[in-house]
Amino acid sequence: MTAPELISADGVYVSIGGMPVLRDVSLQVSEGEAVALIGGNGSGKSTLVRTLLGILPHQEGTISLFGQEVPGFKDWSKIGYVPSTARWRSRTAPSARSCRPDDSPTARPSSG
């Protein structure tokens, strides 16, 4: 039996300010797997994570979390995300949902 895919990306392209940042990225992360993103400054690690979470838009390709495409994904309680430049006033870290730019009254767009 194959473990279910928790994260799936296929042929993802991301441009920021007209500059291509991620080109043809594909990956699958299944239940029980551990993944590390390693690379130098400016290599696209944070951009990839922010794109997988739907914080940054992608121009091509598909992204799914827990089998559901990201634009429609709603079960944010399954996701933990603290941005590398996180700043908040309370002593409690923000949830992934509070870092997503959506229609939630608690949502705040990321500024980095």
Write down the domain spans for the chain.
Answer: 5-70+86-99
Beta bridge partners of 62: 10
Lowest mean pLDDT among 4-8, 23-27, 81-85, 100-104: 100-104
Give the C-alpha separation, 25 to 10, whole Å.
6
Task: Check whether 77 has a pLDDT greater than 60.
Answer: yes
The reported pLDDT for the residue numbered 84 is 74
Q: Can you read off the two tokens belonging to residue 7?
A: 């994260």
Q: Can you read off the two tokens belonging to residue 84?
A: 């590398």
The answer to whether the CB of 94 falls within 8 A of the CB of 82 is yes
* pTM beyond 0.95, yes or no: no
- Right CATH for 5-70+86-99 from 3.40.250.10, 3.40.470.10, 3.40.50.300, 3.20.130.10: 3.40.50.300
The reported pLDDT for the residue numbered 88 is 57
Radius of gyration in angstroms for the set of CA atoms belonging to the chain, rounded to a whole number:
14
Beta strands in the chain (DSSP E): 5-16, 19-30, 60-65, 68-69
Most confident of the ranges 60-64, 69-73, 76-80, 103-107? 60-64
The reported pLDDT for the residue numbered 4 is 79
End-to-end CA distance of the chain: 40
The reported pLDDT for the residue numbered 111 is 47
Beta bridge partners of 11: none
Lowest mean pLDDT among 45-49, 66-70, 105-109: 105-109
The reported pLDDT for the residue numbered 80 is 87
- Of the two residues 99 and 61, the one the predictor is more confident about is 61
